[in-house]
Structure 1
Amino acid sequence: MKIVLVCNAGMSTSVLVQKMLKSAEAKGIDAEIDAYSIEVLEETLENSKVDCILVGPQIRHMMPNVEKLASGVCPVALIDMRNYGTINGEAVLTQALDLINN
């Protein structure tokens, strides 16, 4: 499965991605998790199958744009601000899995 995190420059989510990958590995979940800037999201969606997109709370104002780009492709959700702020990879992974499975 491919989970995409979107933020301003793709940098602030890199630590969260690593924690999510570690949590997925511990649970035996085969997941590709990457962080991208909002500027390359459209290209990412065109070039690979994406199962869900999670948007960083610092760009919540971009949710309508992300939802429009992902319409008919995959579900989109805003990352919980507390989980993002505490870099809670396990909780954000759970959010992504719930989004994919519902």
Structure 2
Amino acid sequence: MKRILLACSSGMSTSLLVSKMEEVAKNKGIEAKIWAVAQDQAQKEMDKADVLLIGPQMRFLKKKFEALAKEKGIPLDVIDPVAYGRIDGEAVLNKALELIGK
């Protein structure tokens, strides 16, 4: 079971992306728990995740989250703005899996 956490400013804008990612994972036979939270909840939720992807609008917080992610031993990256804008669940899921190391 892959546990993929997405964080964005309010946690709302990524909800559609989560749905698309879950659909792709199901179609590929990948067991995954994918959820989104607001930036202020990300630190608490990181303990439950294998990877953290942050929304492009939070790029400026990457260094802050990197220190926490490193401490917890989970990979982190910023979601590609094009994939985010297109709500490309497959591209974002693939990036998460790549970071986890499949």
With normalisation by structure 1, the TM-score equals 0.93
Count of matched residue positions in the alignment of Structure 1 and Structure 2? 100
Which whole-Å CA distance do the structure 2 matches of 1:99 and 1:17 have between them? 17
Which whole-Å CA distance do the structure 2 matches of 1:5 and 1:43 have between them? 13
- Structure 1 residue 34: deviation in Å? 0.4
Structure 1 residues not aligned, in runs of 5+: none
User: 2:84 is paired with a residue of what secondary structure?
Assistant: helix
RMSD of Structure 2 on Structure 1 (CA): 1.2
Q: After alignment, is 3-12 or 70-79 more displaced?
A: 70-79
- Structure 1 residue 17: deviation in Å? 0.3
After the TM superposition, list the runs of 4 or more consecutive aligned residues in structure 1 that deviate by more than 4 angstroms: none
**Where does residue 42 of structure 1 map in the other structure?**
43
Aligned-pair identity in percent equals: 43
**Where does residue 84 of structure 1 map in the other structure?**
84
Which whole-Å CA distance do the structure 2 matches of 1:96 and 1:4 have between them? 9
